[in-house]
Amino acid sequence: MAKIVDEALARSFGLSAEEYARVLAIMGRTPSLTELGVFSVMWSEHCSYKSSRVWLKTLPTKAPWVIHGPGENAGVVDIGDGLAAIFKMESHNHPSFIEPHQGAATGVGGILRDVFTMGARPVANLNALRFGDPNHPRTKRTVDGVVRGVGGYGNCVGVPTVGGEVNFHPAYNGNPLVNAMTVGIARQDRIFLSAAAGIGNPVVYVGSKTGRDGIHGATMASTEFGKDSEEKRPTVQVGDPFTEKLLIEACLELMATDAIIAIQDMGAAGLTSSSVEMAGKGDVGIELDLDAVPQRETGMTAYEMMLSESQERMLIVIRPDRQDMARAIFDKWELDFAVIGHLTDTGHIVVKHKGVVEADIPLAPLADQAPLYHRPIAETPKRAPLGYVASPLGMADAVMQLIACPDLCSRAWIWDQYDSTVGGQTVKRPGAADAAVVKVDGFARALALTTDCTPRYCAADAEAGAAQAVAEAWRNITAVGARPLAITDNMNFGNPEKPEIMGQFASAIKGMAAACIALDFPVVSGNVSLYNETEGKGILPTPAIGGLGVLEDAAQAVGIAPAAGLDLVLIGATVGHLGQSLWLREIAKREDGPPPPVDLVAERRNGDFVRGEILAGRVRACHDISDGGTLIAVVEMALAGNVGIDLLPRHEEIAPHAFWFGEDQARYIVAVASAAAFIAAATAAGVPATLLGHTGHQAHLTLPGGATISREAVQRAHERFLPAWMDNAGER
Amino acid sequence: MRAGIVVFPGINRERDMAIALEISGAKPRMIWHRETDLSGLDLIVIPGGFSYGDYLRCGAMAAQSPVMRAVREHAARGGYVLGVCNGFQILTEMGMLPGVLLRNASLRFLSMDCYLRVERVTPAYTSKFAQGAVFRAPMAHGDGNYFANDATLDRLEGEGLVAFRYVTPHGEPTLAANRNGSARNIAGIYSENLRVLGLMPHPEDLVDKLMGGTDGKPLFDSIAAAA
């Protein structure tokens, strides 16, 4: 404890000189080491959102069905029957780079706690993963560890992992993204918030014991990586999904009583952020006695305990007369339960350890005077239009190459390692539909869930790309027949101190906001991860969107697999936009042009029509058109349904490769019994619709030019990459 | 049959099991792991999950639990015991069923549908299946690779104690159908009196058309119909 608190130490804790001066002004003296630790984590980018807050405030967050928007541990929306869906997505990027398995595992654990701390039983996990170039020496190890971590944690706690997305790009070589989303269900009259209340009420610590793990994790997550990032491994925590499972059950059991006044999980910045935020939101003071904190190690200092990010811990403000009953519940689940403090009227957080006051900080200025930056912005120049690009490859060869590429190949190798059925409510498993569908136990209704973002679009035009991410989430939910309700966002960007990165961020927020408004699809929770850079190289801007929708009757959900003997109808207008398409990258070997424009009016009109037809029972299968364009969507449907498909010749004035591989937005392919009536209804609704072809029992696909490809060959190509790369597995 | 479902800390498929039993008309009750009075119950089900986190060998901790002594006595009295996934692992850890469940041959967790062939029709568990029937069931485990020495395997086969085998959709016990690498494609086995059954896959997660099919339902219909 011989460390001298001064500006140099403050800087090593991640505070700027100006920020440290502000600490001195608030305290009126030199802070203690523990106090400096509290300021540095609370004012870290990760906890304070100091670079992003001014922009986040501009996002639409309201709708009649929104019960709690951003500001709570997770977003809460009304899903009918007196029930609420509670959900959020959160990043664990930096830890997952340093130690992929534990980094990803604790990411899942953290987001689960954000959801059950509000009273919801977690019913589904999803994720959004971005990895580096498969040829980069580090990527394989990262993929292996992240998949094991995500699976290991989710499988053990018994929450099904039902969906997600994966991209590969060299921009993530030194900075993979692990964004984890949890969705839970609660009764609307049993939602728990974090604002502490009641002077004198006990503050209770439950869950795992505190160790020295993860100290300063939030600060680590707020800086770039250099060559020394490996040395940061001690800042990564280790997950214990078994304890998490017990914590879920114990908390839900306690939540069925009237004992809890406020509850918050100890996530980033552990005991510090949970106690500061609970007291701050409730406008009360809090006094903690660290001698009472359950400890896993001996000789821990106040500084270490306040900054530890040991996992699977919660802080609860409890009714004093319910303390014994609450303790009995945690005894039953064999978890620690310790009264470690009480609420006060001082407006301060006071931390005592071994009879000494180790910290005494006024809460109001700690929150109100937290740094807030209007960082300079440089807009990304718009990309020049692509112009005509000739096709270097025949259509059959292009299909075979595209369907096998890392960004389009089958993800089965990944989701086969995630338990997607535990709970017995999974209506549409990974790969079966554009959104996962999970029934609400005991009710007819179901949730539709998806995660989406196309980072290459965002890199070319962050505003259009972010709007596209929201639109695609909305479309995926629509494609199963569900009504989209709200999103959670996970904003992954580079160093915000660089104007071009801040420009990407600001543009992305603008694009998201426009799409959210046009689609009635507000943001109810989210997370920002900045400084995703290694040695000065930033990631592609990646505003990952987690979408949630509701189906009143789970039986109405449709998947992407058509039966034989149906007509395939293309919904939406096609102009053949190839800029930033996967065809352009994989076949023409170019990564340029603008991303496809997003017409939100058409998006809404087309989607509302498709959903109406699904709910009317006229659609047998539906698949949105995204990466790879129409032909890839058709192939995916053929593989999912195990059917042959006969595509009709086209007569548009669009080059065939642009028609079939262009990534125009607001489009779907639906399988219907009779195209004529369906197209007539679409036309009447002002929705472009055209017959693409038919499904049949044959074992091949017939391309519009008459060439055929065997479904088995396509399937082999589609399924080859991940097992071959990761497990050196031959074809099965 | 009156059924009880044992809940250890870390078990996570108890609800799935209860739903499946209820759909078939059985009315199970939950048994907390500290309980030792199993009177009035005909069938004890040990469901899937990660008892005690499975941080030691899978099922090794739960096998030492007080409730499992009561389960052993229940079986000794001729009672019925069904162990699924972690439940099967616990039963082998206790020696109530022979063999062990090793790490999957791929060394990865496997979550996917598999196909099972009914190797023997027994009154308590498979009366609603035809002999040799093939049905689909989800599996979700990291340690489902059944192993026993050849003498034990020969005895299990000779005495007709193999309950289910991993097969192709057409009923062939091929290498490819045996994803976790189990000896002789064995997915489930019976005790000598045919009253204790352990299996790795989860028929309880396929008992409703909405969730993708009712392939697993005959197992629970058989249980519900048994006297």
Whether A668 and A479 have beta carbons less than 8 Å apart is answered as: yes
B85 is catalytic: yes
Q: Percentage of chain A surpassing pLDDT 90?
A: 91
Distance from CA of B155 to the nearest CA of A (A): 32
Is the predicted pLDDT of residue A732 greater than 50, yes or no? Answer: no
* The pLDDT value given to residue A223: 65
According to the model, what pLDDT value does residue A534 have?
Answer: 85
The residue-averaged pLDDT of A641-657 equals 94
DSSP codes, A241-284: HHHHHHHHHHHHHHHTTT-EEEEEE--TTHHHHHHHHHHHHHT-
Cβ separation A245–B50 shorter than 8 A = yes
Mean local confidence (pLDDT), A151-165 = 97
A82-86, A162-166, A219-223, B6-10: segment of lowest average pLDDT = A219-223
Note whether A423 contacts B10, CB cutoff 8 Å.
no
Q: Which of A721, A709, A675, A722 is closest to A694 using CA atoms?
A: A675
Query: Which pLDDT value is given to residue A237?
Result: 80
B79 has a pLDDT exceeding 50: yes
* A361-405 confidence digits (pLDDT tens): 999 999 999 999 999 999 999 999 999 999 999 999 999 999 999
Q: What is the mean pLDDT of the segment spanning A511-528?
A: 98
Rounded mean pLDDT, B208-226 = 96
In this predicted structure, what is the pLDDT of residue A1?
47
Measured between CB atoms, does A135 come within 8 Å of chain B? Answer: no
* Residue B21 per-residue DSSP state: H
pLDDT confidence of residue A651: 87
Contact status of A99 with chain B (Cβ, < 8 Å): no
What does the pLDDT look like over A59-107, one tens digit per residue?
999 999 999 999 999 999 999 999 999 999 999 999 899 999 999 999 9
Q: Do the Cβ atoms of B111 and A418 come within 8 Å?
A: yes
State how far the Cα of A262 lies from the Cα of A191, in Å rounded to an integer: 10
- Measured between beta carbons, the chain B residues lying within 8 angstroms of A425 are 211
Task: Please state the ipTM of this predicted complex.
Answer: 0.96
Chain A (217-276) residues lying within 8 Å, Cβ to Cβ, of chain B? 240-243, 245-246
**What's the pLDDT tens digit per position in B124-177?**
999 999 999 999 999 999 999 999 999 999 999 999 999 999 999 999 999 999
How confident is the prediction for chain B on average, in pLDDT?
A: 97
Whole-number CA gyration radius for chain B = 16
pTM above 0.90, yes or no: yes
* Least Cα separation, residue B209 to chain A (angstroms): 9
Spatial distance between the Cα atoms of A715 and A720, rounded to a whole number of angstroms: 8
pLDDT of residue A3: 76
Q: Is the pLDDT of residue A228 over 80?
A: no
Scanning A340-483, the segments in alpha helix (DSSP H) are 363-368, 395-404, 412-415, 455-460, 462-478
pLDDT confidence band for A730 (50 / 70 / 90): low
The sign of the CA dihedral A471, A474, A477, A482 is negative
Quote the minimal CA–CA distance from A673 to chain B in Å. Answer: 22
Better pLDDT: A356 or A225: A356
Helical ranges in A587-685 per DSSP H: 600-615, 629-641, 656-661, 675-684
Full DSSP string of A286-351: EEEEGGGS-BSSSS--HHHHHH---SSEEEEEE-GGGHHHHHHHHHHTT-EEEEEEEEESSSEEEE
Chain A, residues 675-704, CB within 8 A of chain B, namely none
pLDDT of residue A212: 87
What mean pLDDT do residues A559-570 have? 98
Pair of tokens at residue B142: 């990291």
Task: Answer whether residue A529 shows pLDDT above 70.
Answer: yes
CA A581 to chain centre: 23
pLDDT digits (tens, 9 = 90+) for A439-483: 999 999 999 999 999 999 999 999 999 999 999 999 999 999 999
Phi, psi at A351, each rounded to 5°: -115, 120
